[in-house]
Amino acid sequence: MKKLKLDSDFIWILKTIKHISNANNGNAFEYLFDDVLTLEGAPAVRSIHEGTISQFEAMGVISAQEIGNALHDGVFKLEGFKIQILKSKFDEIQKELSIQKSAVKTYTSHFFDSKALIKINTQDIPLPAYANEHLLCRVMFEYMIGEPVDWSIIFEKMTGDEPKDKNKNSRMVRDTMHAVNERIHELAKTERDLFEWKNKCIKRLF
């Protein structure tokens, strides 16, 4: 099998499909976006679910039938899929992911505030000095690896102000976290994330 990309969304959707299939005794089941998006840790964008399920089907891991409705203007609105796991191929992909996960490289991180710099193993990751990415890292490196920090605490420490618009302010914190992760992906040539967003908190992964 071609080496798979260890992507957190890919793995989350794969595990969720397996869980729902088991709950339905291996029978076909409905994977509806409105339901799945409410689950803890779910990728927040419908297109990620749609694209990943289409990828699974192309790989022969599942069969997937579109579920949706035709709108008044004739446009088809996709609501989800009816999915059947193809067991032998599904087991094969799970085994491959397990092998890759066990071989994942160990990473360490260090933050140098005065230089606006993260070091991932031996790779320097410069940050825009005193901009949001630098300020978020300054906050997060005050905490232990794996310790969840509420977004509102991060926002207040970054800006010196209490959140006034929860949606807008939390989005700023989350977008900044993603920007740091993307910078690390590009410069350290890795797919590993330094930070993870879960339950409206951020934690440092290594």
CA distance 42 to 105: 25
pLDDT at 198 over 70: yes
Q: What pLDDT sits at residue 75?
A: 82
Q: Which residues are CB-neighbours of 193 under 8 A, at least 6 positions away?
A: 8, 181, 184, 205
pLDDT 10s digits, 45-95: 999 999 999 999 998 999 999 999 877 777 888 999 999 999 888 888 878
CA distance 127 to 137: 9
- To the question of pTM greater than 0.85 for the whole model, the response is no
What token pair was written down for 144? 């232990």
Mean pLDDT of the region 23-44: 93
> What CATH number belongs to 109-204?
1.10.10
**88 and 71 Cβ atoms separated by less than 8 Å:** no
pLDDT 10s digits, 157-193: 999 999 999 999 999 999 999 999 999 999 999 888 9
> What CATH number belongs to 8-102?
1.10.10
Domain boundaries, the chain: 8-102, 109-204
